[in-house]
Amino acid sequence: MIRINEQYLKLQTSYLFADIKKRMTDFQERYPGREMIKLGIGDVTRGLPRACVEAMQSAVAEMADEDTFRGYGPEQGYAFLREKIAGHEYQARGVGIEADEIFVSDGAKCDTGNFQEILAGDAVVALPDPVYPVYLDANVMAGRAGTFADGRYTGIVYLDCTEANNFMPDLPGEQVDIIYLCFPNNPTGAMIDKEGLRKWVDFARKHKALILYDAAYEIFIQDPDLPRSIFEVEGAGECAVEFRSYSKTAGFTGTRCAYTVVPKDCRAFTSRGEPVSLHDLWLRRQSTKFNGASYPVQRAAEAVYTPAGQEQIKERIEYYLANAQLLKQSMESLGFQCAGGLHSPYIWINGRRDAWDFFDLLLHEAGVVCTPGVGFGSCGQGYIRLSAFNTRENVRKAVDRIQDALA
Ligand code: MLT
């Protein structure tokens, strides 16, 4: 008899963004003529930067010609891209990451979800609440979460992020093995400073834990003194893995390209306490289960590092951040307490009512889609998240409609 992985039965209903999509579809079926403004899932709306499009087009042309055609690429990603990443994203900022420590992939969602596979099944997981649901669900599937009771899994160490601690998780009060951190944070938009990050690195080294650091939104950091990478903190190379993405950076949500940095020094341990290189294990895992992002897509990502590409992505990020300011100011003027929106495309709003009720209110009264905070964890109850990824025109329209609906 074929049996299922029963851990999947412990997952809570459907994936958050699938739930939201269903409510949007129901709404559209009920009110076919009504326009919806989507400020829910963080999905970019601006076209790909011209520099990326041109690079992709010429790579596609190469693929059409037998002399320049490329089949399977290197599992870790093409050297031309990994070298650019190492140079521009790390070495130029004084961080000693080498090209062969970078693994190019087709998304940070898959990488943050998959990385736990190479870690022990009984590792204790700590994660912030609220949190990007992929980290939690991946560990539920892997059997690390225990049972679900009163809104939480018994096997997970939750790090509450609330107004009281400025949405900054406190260090765990117990031994944990895997720690997920995300800065700039999704969903709260909070950003950590170097001192704050140093505490986590010191904790991980002392407890022989591993930090899985999601930096998918680092491009939104405006203050040059804030850390763009966990590897800016000394010692992080032995206890942290970093995930980055071109999705929000360069509009690749539909194009798919990301990378994960696993330093050669990064270690985990066997049950006998012997250190093992996570770089080697992840390479082994990727070369078995992944065949690389496509050549044209990697060429497009490489073009991000040309002067034109840099200029074009900067313009887009400023555009989205200006949207974020509009949304934040408008919600604040309505009397709501807001976080984020400064180094982040997300605004985290204390709605002072049930999160799904607020979601329904905004959808039905304003035709605006948000994300209910409780979908990110129980500390998100009472909150909604607004995403700044939309056109300026739609953001202005959304602001007016929300003001009318809540007036
Ligand atoms: C979000 O809205 O939280 C993200 O866009 C989802 C994702 O990146 O997968």
Here the CATH number for the domain that contains residue 192 is 3.40.640.10
pLDDT of residue 19: 86
**84 and 204 share one domain:** yes
Whether 14 has a pLDDT exceeding 80, the answer reads: no
Residue tagged 């203050």 (tokens) = 223
pLDDT score recorded for residue 135: 98
- Phi, psi (degrees; rounded to nearest 5) at 168: -110, 115
330-349 pLDDT, tens per residue? 999 999 999 999 999 999 99
Number of alpha carbons in the 13 Å side-chain half-sphere of residue 27: 22
Tell me: do 88 and 215 sit in the same domain. yes
Q: Do 327 and 391 belong to one domain? A: yes
CATH number, domain of 318, equals 3.90.1150.10
Q: 306, 336, 370: which is the final residue of a domain?
A: 306
123 and 194 co-located in one domain:
yes
- Is 62 in a helix, a strand, or coil? helix
Spell out a b/e string for 343-372, using b for 16 or more CB atoms within 10 Å of the CB, else e: bbbbbbbbbeeebbebbebbbeebbbbbbb
Q: Are residues 314 and 302 in the same domain?
A: no
Task: Kindly give the number of the ligand 1 atom that is closest to the alpha carbon of 253.
Answer: 8
Among 16, 20, 39, 43, name the best residue to mutate to test ligand 1's pocket (greatest count of ligand atoms within 8 A of Cβ). 43
Which of 132, 220, 256 is the pocket-test mutation for ligand 1 (most atoms within 8 Å of CB)? 132
Question: Which among 345, 385, 185, 367 is positioned nearest to 251, based on CA atoms?
Answer: 345
**Model pLDDT, residue 276:** 98
Cα dihedral sign, 200-281-232-220 = negative
Q: Write down the pLDDT at residue 255.
A: 97
Give the residue whose CA is nearest to atom 5 of ligand 1. Answer: 42
From 186, 320, 385, give the residue whose CB has the most ligand 1 atoms within 8 Å, as the site to mutate: 186
Half-sphere exposure (CA, 13 Å, Cβ side) for 342?
Answer: 9
Asked, for residue 240, whether it belongs to a domain, the answer is yes
Residues 6+ apart with CB under 8 A from 6: none
Query: Is the model's pLDDT at 325 over the cut of 90?
Result: yes
Does residue 340 form part of some domain?
yes
Does residue 233 belong to any structural domain of this protein? yes
What confidence tens digit (pLDDT) does each residue in 253-271 have?
A: 999 999 999 999 999 999 9
393 vs 137: CA distance, rounded Å: 35
* Nearest-atom index, ligand 1, CA of 43: 5
Query: Do 92 and 222 share a domain, yes or no?
Result: yes
Residue range 24-44: average pLDDT? 93
Structure confidence at residue 370 (pLDDT):
97
360 and 218 assigned to the same domain: no
Of the candidates 59, 105, 61, which has an alpha carbon nearest to the alpha carbon of residue 82? 105
42 C-alpha vs ligand 1 centroid, how far in Å? 5
Q: 41: Cβ below 6 Å to ligand 1?
A: yes
357 CA to centre of ligand 1 in angstroms: 21
Report the separation in Å between the CA atom of 271 and the middle of ligand 1, taken as the mean of its atom positions: 35
Print the domain residue range for 352.
6-47+308-406
Question: What is residue 17's predicted lDDT score, i.e. its pLDDT?
Answer: 85
Residue type, 89: E
Q: What is the structure's pLDDT at 407? A: 82
Q: Rounded to an integer, what distance in angstroms lies between the CA atom of residue 46 and that of residue 254?
A: 12
Longest CA pairwise span in the chain (Å): 65
Residue 363 one-letter amino acid: L
Q: Is residue 180 very low, low, confident or very high in pLDDT (cuts 50, 70, 90)?
A: very high
Joined tokens for residue 402: 């929300």
- Does residue 370 form part of some domain? yes
The residue-averaged pLDDT of 9-37 equals 90
For residue 316 and ligand 1, the question of a CB distance below 6 A is answered with no
Average pLDDT of 201-225? 98
When divided into structural domains, the chain yields a total of 2
**Are residue 239 and residue 316 in the same domain, yes or no?**
no
Closest ligand 1 atom to residue 245 Cα is: 8
- Please compute the mean of the pLDDT values over residues 175-187 and round it to a whole number: 98
The confidence band for 18, taking pLDDT boundaries of 50, 70 and 90, is confident
pLDDT value for 31: 92
**What is the distance between the alpha carbons of residues 20 and 17, in angstroms, rounded to a whole number?**
5
Q: Are both 106 and 184 inside the same structural domain?
A: yes
What pLDDT does residue 95 have? Answer: 98
Atom 1 of ligand 1: nearest residue by CA position: 42
Tell me if 69 is assigned to some domain.
Answer: yes
- 293 and 207 in a single domain? The answer is yes
Rounded to the nearest whole angstrom, what is the distance from the C-alpha of residue 372 to the centroid of ligand 1? 13
Mean pLDDT of the chain: 97
Is the same domain home to 301 and 314?
A: no
Is there a domain that residue 326 lies in?
yes
Write out pLDDT tens, residues 263-293.
Answer: 999 999 999 999 999 999 999 999 999 999 9
Position 1 in a domain: no
> Among the three residues 306, 331, 353, which one is the final residue of a domain in this structure?
306
Does the beta carbon of 186 sit less than 6 angstroms from any atom of ligand 1? yes
Q: Which of 260, 277, 306 is the last residue of a domain?
A: 306
**pLDDT band at residue 166, thresholds of 50, 70 and 90?**
very high
Specify whether 77 is located in the same domain as 179: yes
pLDDT given at position 176? 98
Residue type, 74: P
Residue 138 counted as domain residue: yes
pLDDT tens figures, 135-161: 999 999 999 999 999 889 999 999 999
pLDDT surpassing 80 at residue 13: no
| H-helix segments, 251-306 | 278-289, 295-302
Grade residue 196 by pLDDT with cuts at 50, 70 and 90. very high
Would you mind telling me the total number of residues written for the chain in this entry? Answer: 407
Locate all alpha helices (DSSP H) within 167-257, ordered by sequence: 194-206, 247-250
Task: Indicate whether residue 109 lines ligand 1 (CB < 6 A).
Answer: yes
Indicate the DSSP class of residue 6. G
Confidence band, pLDDT 50/70/90 cuts, at residue 402: very high
Across the range 380-391, mean pLDDT stands at 98
CA–centroid distance, residue 41 to ligand 1 (Å) = 6
